[in-house]
Structure 1
């Protein structure tokens, strides 16, 4: 673990310059607004360790799949969210010497991400080889009010000299993805132009043989210069080269006079603008935001953040010590990054595992969205936000049917992709692409979760049943009857525990498949019985024979089980492994970096919740002692080398009364990136697992569940805290829950009375009233 980030309840603070950790800090200080995002890179030139990253939501490139041996059904390409034009660049030269923190002597350095207002700030003093010293103060943000724009305030103050300072704000499109094949670059230049203090660069993704959509992005900038807070006249010399435009500005500087450059920038994509409108719209956008000015843009941006925090903040009460600050910082950091990544305004967009913070996993959509992110947005945002996450999958249903057809399925069977941008499968590892099919079930579960939370039964008829039937048809064809077991089995599976591949009868996948069939049958019966003029067309394609087959599978699915231990087996051969615990291999951690893949696959060690993932999803179908036996068996073998693992264990440990284990796992999930637990934060943040951190507090410590259409809480208070509180949006109402020693305070912030349960006792809280439940 790295421990150089200062603990603070509202800020991510790097005090002192740590160039060896720079890529980690770049990830931690990433900014975004749902439309665009940018890693915490330096504005000025930096020749040290860095991963430049600027990303535009929905813009991707279909890079050719690289595999050693091609197999039928492999995806044609791997979709990658592209590293787009670098809009933040501001090079600084002092009479022939370039400001580069890798070559200058750096002092008084601070990089601070203010999560309360969404502002990244950096200050430092740089000493050049000549002895000249400058102080730099930079602020920037990606506006969540003007969500295709960002703004920078960059000031340079000479401390011990008079002389010429050259500032060169730029737009640089000559960039590449870290994960590109053979260093290939993905952008072609379409147009560039400069004017006084302005520049525009339009790029288009390279054409490919895959016939996917090409994207144009027009990036624009406008600058203003002040000296000691007063506007000054300045000369702007245009600079142009391949995929690059800049404005070169030379200024006579005096010691202790502050020179400030304001840079306003936009990224407009053809996803949202007609091609012919990109450039004129970019110019109009620049004119509008620069007329506002940095101060007004910043104030509007901060106010918008204040409104978000008022809805979604989790407040931890404790001693004024580093431990409490660490816990508070951790949960706010996770919420902050989730809010930066997805706003729900556009049903064409989704949530990539790295969001706008890096390129690993291609920035594409995984099952993480449905299993981990949806609950966060259900409880903290307008209902349409979560609905749009589901509509995204409905829009891709035909592609899911095509994906299944490539593997030999028919009759409208749908297999949703493991990795996607358009609904087409983009994952190129056979043991995942063909076998980690539980992702299909997560999408069906999300429909159930959404309706359970919102009460929006209309979603089934409008969108949900189409998806459920496609998924059910897939499961019905994917299982086969075992004459030996006299049961339906599922062969050649990879479960959530990716440290086992190509196994038979993964318990979680088998249970999830049977549940999907059961839930779809229930939905069909409900809609057939409904006295409604709106009936999904897919109902007419279902025969009695097909429905009977589904029920037969539900009634006769095989579930591996160990009668001696009374636990569900992760898969048929699990007990053939040498059953060790994580304590037995302390010196070998993390095994994904120290062991061969062969050794990992033969071991009992579990990457993330697998059987326990099923018991988390369907806990109401199992008694507490069953959950306890399985938790006690599997958790000691779990290495938690997936970011998605700790949160599920927090929720179950809390349910079982394992409070110390719950808190241990909470710290791991909440500070996974801040403390670089898995030595991979430099690649980007684990955005989707951050939703799991929210679940750890609300569903774990708070014990939030939905029972019989009502909210229910069974909270506990970690001994390290004096209290905590959170808000939940539920079916048009909002409730604040505060947990303190010996009491739970429930505040109904809505205009109607609300009935809910606290520790099994039902209470009714009047509108705009507060009730305190003792005990």
Structure 2
């Protein structure tokens, strides 16, 4: 039966002291300054717009220990590269790493009262509040502070990273002297002397940077404008970081421009009057040669900041609120009965929106744009966990994620050649610009299932949107080039079964195995879908098929070969246990000694050599159980229950990708209490820092897994052969829940209450779906159906 032991170990061993945030469905808020949670708070209060990411560090600085802060500013897709040095190398190993850079810091606004600098760790903090509102996208901080000389001031800061303007962020910083008049100094800075975290013992954190990644080429400073021009040392990019500041104050003030190395300052000397507010508004921008020719970057920076100043801070806030109102109108998941969960869901959805690239050239990294964990790399997390959320909530963003994969198709072809495949394309396990960056191939490059994961997302997209143009112009080429790899890596055994050997499945505690069930099952889906698409386009759009076939040098016999391999795919099954074996050898290994593994030894990857872990029956995350979800119609409920019962006790859930999948399957097979526990761990994983590493960035896959837990788990949503199905349940802790999905041109609202589910057509003319096997049709004239 279901065993909670390993989950409890994981949570206990990884949890760190938390900051307690008041429960509010639409915001996170802290009401006291807490140095113990400061590092974590910098992540939780981060802002982004899919390109720019600003950690929630204070404008006026933090003087605590260096290991309790990371004042990071990041750009999705902007990276440095370095050669990977192997003490013992081999042919075909990844040659170059790419890592997201901490770029010049334009947030800085320091405040001086006479000769004393405002510092939360000095003087007296009388009142403090900071909040991040998910409906306005504004980070707000209010501080009442008394200096060592007894001078009291009020500080109110507001920060926004603009969704409507890719390259722009803005800060409003208001200071009011409360019991004195005298000299104040406000210094708006742009600081290029930044660096990345250095790699440590945890492989999930930091970059092996050998020296400064950004080289200063030029700086400009005049009136209210400051700019730094940098070049990366190896990746060949140019970057202009710029700010423009304006002081609003009716009293006497002067401006001085200062330069200290890579730090540019606009210093405002103010003769302050008691009770009279002083407001500094600061606009910042980042432009790189990944988007525009290098010669245009400075001009574009000036122009963007000038337009922002003309627009004004208040108007930018209004634009931000309107953008988010539209997002929440489509994406909001409403839950009545659990305030902690409602807050967690909104927090997760907001951070996903902040983190995802939407230009077709960038993706979404495992940590978003909130921290440097995993070096800003993109993984399969996108296709299997994050893509469904955007597909059903904001499909135009989902399409851009697929366009990113097409942009990397040529690099995937090159990687296939490096891996000795004469034809086809092999997508990288971890990357930014398209090249493989995984230096540890047993748990990286060996995960060939990345090709099938991308194919799965294309299939999901086509079934949900019917976007034939995308399929013909982009998707078909990806599908067929990547399908070729399975015939390149696989072979037929003496019994005629198609086998795929020496690969690693989703479970990273089991590596380099033969016939990983998930990989083979997903490859079968991939091969069949690629053949379907080839046949459909050949029959209906022969000219387009000829074009695609010519691009690929596709042999006429290839689709039939894909069909045959799919039909004869080896899918391991143990008849005695009546379960799907994770691979050919998994069940022959000894079970990990969970009873005698102390809690401080979790996660296992930080405490045991990989070979020790690989010799045991122990899983880091869902593997076979993930296949039960993605290929749901291929298994009976009894199959799912037996597989779940066998694999869950063997799973540590050391991966943040695990608990959401186990929650969904537990819900489907009737383990409702366990489903809810797993779901709660997913929903508040970052807010409660249950994995103990959120200070290095959020966990975007788990965040999207929360949405999946509602839609796929409790609502039982599945899409099978293009048909939309639901089998809703209502957790006993909830009064009701509601969510919306885009599907086949319609917007559907699903509301589940005790004893009743209501389906409401909000947009579109007609939508067909099934409820517990009963087929229903929603139309403009009859847009609502209520069923038991």
Could you tell me how far apart the structure 2 residues matched to 1:63 and 1:768 are?
A: 61
Q: 1:581 to 1:329 in 2, by over 3 A?
A: farther
Distance 1:215 1:33, change over 3 A: same
Q: Would you say the 8 A contact 2:745–2:764 is kept in 1?
A: no
Q: TM-score, normalised by structure 2?
A: 0.92
The reply on whether 1:758 has 2:771 as its aligned counterpart is yes
Q: Match of 1:236, SS?
A: strand
Say which SS state the counterpart of residue 61 (structure 1) adopts.
strand
Find the counterpart in structure 1 of residue 69 from structure 2: 50
1:497 is aligned to 2:511: no
In structure 2, what is the equivalent of residue 465 of structure 1? 476
**Equivalent residue for 1:242?**
261
Match of 1:631 in 2: 644
Q: Kindly state the Cα deviation for residue 548 of structure 1 after the two structures are TM-superposed.
A: 4.8
1:141-220 map, 5 Å: 141-178=160-197, 179-182=206-209, 184-206=211-233, 208=234, 212=235, 214-220=236-242
After superposition, the Cα gap between the structure-2 partners of 1:694 and 1:220, relative to the gap in structure 1 and judged at 3 Å, is same
Aligned counterparts of 2:39 and 2:693: Cα–Cα separation in 1: 10
- Residues 317-466 of structure 1: pairs in structure 2 closer than 5 A: 317-318=336-337, 324-342=338-356, 344=358, 346-382=359-395, 384-410=396-422, 412-466=423-477
C-alpha contact 2:438 2:445 (8 A) present in aligned 1: no
2:523 equivalent in structure 1 = 513
Deviation at 1:641, TM superposition (A): 1.6
Q: Residue 182 of structure 1: CA displacement?
A: 5.0
The equivalent residue for 1:681 is: 694
Contact 1:330 1:670 in 2 (8 A): yes
Using a 3 Å threshold, how does the CA distance of structure 1 residues 754 and 232 change in structure 2: closer, same or farther? Answer: farther
* Structural mapping, 1:67-146, within 5 Å: 67-146=86-165
Cα contact 1:747–1:769 (8 A) shared by 2: no
Once the two structures are TM-superposed, the CA of residue 155 in structure 1 deviates from its matched residue by 1.9
CA distance in 2, matches of 1:226, 1:537: 61
Match of 2:332 among 313, 316, 324: 313
Residues 63 and 180, structure 1, Cα contact 8 Å, conserved in 2: no
1:721 aligns with: 734
Residue in structure 1 matched with residue 12 of structure 2 by the alignment? none
Closer, same or farther in 2 for the Cα pair 1:573/1:183, shift >3 Å?
same
Deviation at 1:555, TM superposition (A): 3.3
Q: How does 1:13-28 map to 2 (within 5 A)?
A: 13-28=29-44
Q: TM-score, normalised by structure 1?
A: 0.93
> Which residue of 667, 674, 682 maps to 1:654?
667
Report the alpha carbon displacement of residue 551 of structure 1 after superposing the two structures with TM: 3.8
Q: Distance in 2 between matches of 1:282 and 1:594?
A: 44
1:765, distance to aligned residue in structure 2 (A): 2.3
Aligned 8 A contact 2:252 2:270 in 1: no
Give per-residue Cα distances to partners, 1:530-583, cap 9 Å, x unaligned: 254422534363435544543443233323222111011112222233336867
Q: Report the RMSD for the aligned CA atoms in angstroms.
A: 2.2
> How far apart are the structure 1 equivalents of 2:510 and 2:149?
59
The equivalent residue for 2:633 is 620
Task: Give the C-alpha shift of residue 66 in structure 1.
Answer: 4.1
Change (3 A) 1:495 1:305: same
1:38 is the counterpart of 2:54: yes
Quickly say closer, same or farther: Cα 1:190–1:233, change in 2 above 3 A.
Answer: farther
Find 1:571's aligned residue among 580, 583, 588: 583
Which SS does the other structure have where 1:497 is aligned? coil
8 Å Cα contact 1:748/1:768 also seen in 2 = no
Contact 1:354 1:360 survives alignment (8 Å) = yes
Distance, in Å, in 2 between the alignment partners of 1:732 and 1:521 is: 26
Counterpart for residue 474 of structure 1: 485
**1:669 offset after TM fit, Å?**
1.0
What secondary structure, in the 3-state scheme, does the structure 2 residue paired with 1:616 have? Answer: helix
Alpha-carbon shift at residue 27 of structure 1 (Å): 0.5
Kindly indicate whether the alpha-carbon contact (under 8 Å) linking 1:176 and 1:184 is maintained by their aligned counterparts in 2: no
Change (3 A) 1:589 1:202: same
Question: In structure 2, what is the Cα distance between the partners aligned to 1:242 and 1:672?
Answer: 41
Contact 1:435-1:492 at 8 Å conserved across structures: yes
Aligned to 1:321: none
